[in-house]
């Protein structure tokens, strides 16, 4: 069994999702009492978001690269970052360690391609929806990307950072996401990629008229597969 190193706390709610899915997969495939060999370096999201909001991505890179080096030092065989947004500095983090850093977009690309779909609607933080760091990964695999209108991008970003993630989301929040997904379908989206690890806590299959691919779930499952190699 390999040891996974998880850079978490972005947010702690989605880090729980990773921990649960990884251990459920390992138990199901290696025996019900088997737990994943995993070390977690959890960060203060408020600090990370402060740097992101000021465009100080070099500081985000320094914090996460330092965390990755810590995980490598205590024996992680591979590392994953439990956040889509911070993959903007993925290359820096990978360069800071010798072990592989599993990119969050790779399992999503595999899943969308396997489903035979060529255009995806992307939801996430403003940084993810307006930036190219995930879009380029999808485009390289021949997958076109649709994003919401600028007004909706701002609203979704606000919801991700200000709405409670635990428990049932307010009805108006679920309705907003339904409207956004309907609009992206009209733009040609064949599926929806939840490109924020918190979105799976707010958007359920019944909220979407299109198939949903949750990057947090797919990323965690890929990590669990790697643990058992």
Q: CATH number of the domain that 153 lies in?
A: 3.40.50.1860
- Confidence check: pLDDT of 187 > 80: yes
What whole-number distance in Å separates Cα of residue 3 and Cα of residue 199? 27
What whole-number distance in Å separates Cα of residue 9 and Cα of residue 32? 27
Same domain for 135 and 87, yes or no, is: no
Same domain for 168 and 180, yes or no, is: yes
- Confidence check: pLDDT of 62 > 80: yes
The structural domain count of the chain equals: 2
Same domain for 140 and 91, yes or no, is: no
Strand order in the sheet with 38-42: 38-42, 4-8, 78-81, 101-102
User: Given this model, what pLDDT does residue 170 score?
Assistant: 83
Same domain for 98 and 182, yes or no, is: no
User: Given this model, what pLDDT does residue 167 score?
Assistant: 52
Same domain for 210 and 110, yes or no, is: yes
User: In which residue are the tokens 């359920």 written?
Assistant: 204
What whole-number distance in Å separates Cα of residue 190 and Cα of residue 192? 7
| Nearest CA-CA partner of 228 in 81, 22, 80 | 22
Beta bridge partners of 6: 40, 80
User: Given this model, what pLDDT does residue 163 score?
Assistant: 75
Strand order in the sheet with 119-123: 144-146, 119-123, 191-194, 212-214
| Nearest CA-CA partner of 163 in 2, 13, 8, 1 | 13
Same domain for 89 and 171, yes or no, is: no
User: Given this model, what pLDDT does residue 168 score?
Assistant: 64
Same domain for 88 and 149, yes or no, is: no
Same domain for 100 and 147, yes or no, is: no
Same domain for 74 and 133, yes or no, is: no
Going by pLDDT thresholds of 50, 70 and 90, the confidence category of residue 194 is very high
User: Given this model, what pLDDT does residue 10 score?
Assistant: 94
| Nearest CA-CA partner of 8 in 70, 56, 51, 100 | 70
Mean pLDDT across 153-179:
83
Same domain for 206 and 111, yes or no, is: yes
Element (H, E) at 37: none
User: Given this model, what pLDDT does residue 200 score?
Assistant: 92
Q: What angle do CA 97, 100, 104 make, to 5 degrees?
A: 115
User: In which residue are the tokens 């921990």 written?
Assistant: 19
Same domain for 90 and 148, yes or no, is: no
User: Given this model, what pLDDT does residue 171 score?
Assistant: 85
Mean pLDDT of the chain: 95
Same domain for 143 and 99, yes or no, is: no
- Confidence check: pLDDT of 55 > 90: yes
Domain that holds residue 79: 4-104+218-227
């Amino acid at each position: 069994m390999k040891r996974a190193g998880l850079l978490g706390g972005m947010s702690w709610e989605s880090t729980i999702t990773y921990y649960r899915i990884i251990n459920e997969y390992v138990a199901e495939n290696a025996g019900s009492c088997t737990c994943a060999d995993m070390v977690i370096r959890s960060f203060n999201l408020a600090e990370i978001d402060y740097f992101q909001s000021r465009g100080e991505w070099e500081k985000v890179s320094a914090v996460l690269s330092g965390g990755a080096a810590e995980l490598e030092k205590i024996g992680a065989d591979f590392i994953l970052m439990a956040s889509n947004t911070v993959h903007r500095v993925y290359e820096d983090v990978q360069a800071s360690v010798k072990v592989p850093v599993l990119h969050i977009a790779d399992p999503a690309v595999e899943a969308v391609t396997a489903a035979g779909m060529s255009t995806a609607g992307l939801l996430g933080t403003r940084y993810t929806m307006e930036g190219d760091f995930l879009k380029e990964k999808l485009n390289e695999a021949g997958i076109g990307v649709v994003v919401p209108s600028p007004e909706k991008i701002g609203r979704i970003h606000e919801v991700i950072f200000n709405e409670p993630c635990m428990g049932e989301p307010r009805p108006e929040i679920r309705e907003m996401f339904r409207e956004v997904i309907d609009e992206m379908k009209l733009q040609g989206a064949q599926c929806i990629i939840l490109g924020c690890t918190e979105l799976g806590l707010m958007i359920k299959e019944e909220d979407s008229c299109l198939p949903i691919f949750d990057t947090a779930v797919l990323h965690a499952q890929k990590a669990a597969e790697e643990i058992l190699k």
